[in-house]
Amino acid sequence: MEPEKNSSKTEKVPDWMLDLDRVGFVRRLFIARKWYGGDWWFVAISGLLLIFIILVGIFPQWFAPYDPRAEVGPSLLEPGKAPSEYVLVSQVERGEITLVDIADKTNNIGFIVGSPASQALREVLIELNDNAPEGVRYQPRQRRYDTLEESLAALDNGEIDGFVVDPDVLEDSLDVYPNLQVAGTLREEGSKGFFMGTNQIGQDVFSRIIWGTRIALIVGISSALVSFIVGVPLGLFSGFIGGPLDRVLTLLMDSLYSFPGLILAISIAAVLGPGIGNIIVSIAVLYVPTYFRIVRGQTLQVKEELYVEAARSLGTTWFTILRKYIFPNVIPSVVIIFSVNVGDAILTEAGLSFLGFGLPPDTPDWGIDLARGQDYLRRAWWLITYPGLMVSMVTLAFSMLGESLSEILNPRLTER
């Protein structure tokens, strides 16, 4: 049924275009759509996505508005929300006051437990202390209350000297308390928010995930390259030479291959210690067997071919045979593995960092951000969601490319 549906489309293509020798590379890519259908779209979409991701990875400064390590806002700010205003409520007889007036050690300041107001109070106090003259320290005792009513009652009978609250929460509850007033502003409303919010120490989540792209790409691509550089020649030699060397290598690679990769990577990463180079090495070790097995298998097949036999009888050196006659046959499958491998390596890296075996703690890295976000699971969904989506998206792009390329190139699956 498929060809019938397509035939109307093919008619629109002029005949000369179907003669592939006369068509340019780009147009050839577009014509390929007719034969590969959905897989063509998979390749195209993942290719475009990858170009964008690599661009972000190379030039994160173009996309990220802030330094990923700088504390640029209040902590745990929700995505898209401007830092809200906080007011200081106090007794009427005190008149207009600011925090400085009631921030002595003997003063009590209240807030509703678990509300962002406590965070705001802490931040304003830190700022005050940083600018305070020598010998002066502002550290009022902090009182936590469960509800607004409870805290206002406490303020009314003088248990506390001030109460920090978001004016939206306060609304007109003060009407019932004639001798309480909004005495001053603790912190002005922020002018702009953060697109993806801020994390627990006030870093911009968006800038961190943008810079994380660079780390992920460096680790993913370099570890895949290292495994490639080690695995492909080993597979070629092992398959070509055969004998005891082949048997020993195969056994070694099979045992590596059969073992849970992440656990092996954890052990190696623990030996090498934190650092980007060490992570690359520990991940690279995992994927050497993948290349080795595929390349060795193909070499074993190809070396029996007649044209290899012919080359050998012509006196071609074994190195040339490997390089010119065998290696080119291996390339298509290796390209597919490479693409999937980069995605896998990024996943493994995130896993390692999540478990705490990865990079130094403040690196803008998705795995590290996810691990830290886990502590704030109940309060801040955005700390987990965005880095996690990035890992998934980048891995998706790489594996989709590999998977659909293999569907296109895999001769075993051609329909008879």
Contact residues for another protein, defined by CB under 8 A: 2, 37-38, 42, 251-252, 254-256, 258-263, 266-268, 270-271, 273, 343, 347, 350-351, 354-356, 370, 373-374, 377-378, 381, 384-385, 388, 391-393, 395-396, 399-400, 403, 412-413, 415-416
**Cα–Cα nearest to 283, from 210, 211, 225:** 225
Q: Which ranges in 136-204 belong to alpha helices (H)?
A: 148-156, 167-170
Alpha helices by DSSP H, 191-320 = 205-241, 243-258, 261-272, 276-302, 306-313, 318-320
Give the containing element (helix H, strand E) for 374.
Answer: none
Q: Smallest distance from the beta carbon of 298 to another protein, in angstroms?
A: 18
- Shortest spacing between CB 281 and another protein, in angstroms: 13
Which C-beta is closer to another protein: that of 193 or that of 388? 388
Closer residue to another protein in complex, CB, 154/384: 384
How near is the Cβ of 389 to another protein at its closest, in Å? 8
CA torsion, ordered 99, 104, 106, 110, to nearest 10 deg = 30
β-sheet bridge partners, residue 204? 198
**Please, which residue, 245 or 263, has the CB nearer to another protein?**
263
Nearer to another protein, 341 or 399 (CB): 399
Rounded least distance, CB 207 to another protein, Å:
20
Length of the chain: 416
Closer to another protein by CB, 206 or 382: give it.
Answer: 382
> With respect to another protein, which residue has the nearer C-beta, 157 or 258?
258
Q: Which is nearer to another protein, 92 or 263 (CB)?
A: 263
Alpha-carbon distance of 278 to 272, in angstroms, equals 6
Least distance from C-beta 407 to another protein, angstroms?
8
Distance of closest approach, residue 374 Cβ to another protein, in angstroms: 6
- Burial per residue of 117-135, b for 16 or more beta-carbon CB atoms within 10 angstroms, e otherwise: bbbbbebbbeebeeeeeee
Half-sphere exposure of 416 (CA within 13 A, CB side): 1
Which whole-number Å values give the CA distances from 153 to 89, 108, 160, 169, 416, in the listed order? 12, 14, 10, 16, 83
Q: Are 89 and 184 in contact (CB under 8 A)?
A: no
Q: Which is nearer to another protein, 82 or 272 (CB)?
A: 272
Give the nearest distance from C-beta 53 to another protein in angstroms.
13
Shortest Cβ 349–another protein spacing (Å) = 10
Token code pair at residue 256: 């590596």
